[in-house]
Amino acid sequence: MWGSKDKPAVSAPQSQQSAAPTPSQPEQQQSSTTPVPDPLPTEPEQQTSPEQPTPSDGDVNPAATIEVLNVAGVDGWAGQVVSQLAENGFNQSTAGNLDWSPTEGNSIRYQSAEDEPTAKKIGEILGISDIALDPESSNTHAVTVFLVVP
């Protein structure tokens, strides 16, 4: 009976038959009912890694010269901070020791107004809030970090 001329051997469900074009249903109508996928979002390509300063960081200069001075006398502290800065994209840092500090606590000083965003970003990374412009300094580094209190 299923192989007879009166009935097809296999029939599609009724809902699928309406999706196929028929002589009374032009091909272009089918394409208008088929949803077109949205383009892929570009946001993931625009994101930057947390190790590198982002556009919202203003004019942060990851190539700025940074001097980290250990005033507290804790062995290796300045070197550890230099490593921490390097992990965050600041690769022009040097470590040293100093027997005096311009402040009683940990602080950051920067040479010119253009270094302010960089100094603030370094302060954010290190958890130092005492950040100030010091244009009178004879230091040759753009930013100096004074480590006073461990």
Domains annotated for the chain, with CATH where assigned, are 59-147 (3.30.70.2390)
Q: What is the DSSP track for 121-150?
A: HHHHHHT---EEE-TT----SSEEEEE---
Residue range 20-38, pLDDT digits in tens: 444 444 444 444 454 444 4
Kindly state the tokens that stand for 82.
């230099």
Q: Which of 22-36, 50-64, 119-133 has the weakest average pLDDT?
A: 22-36
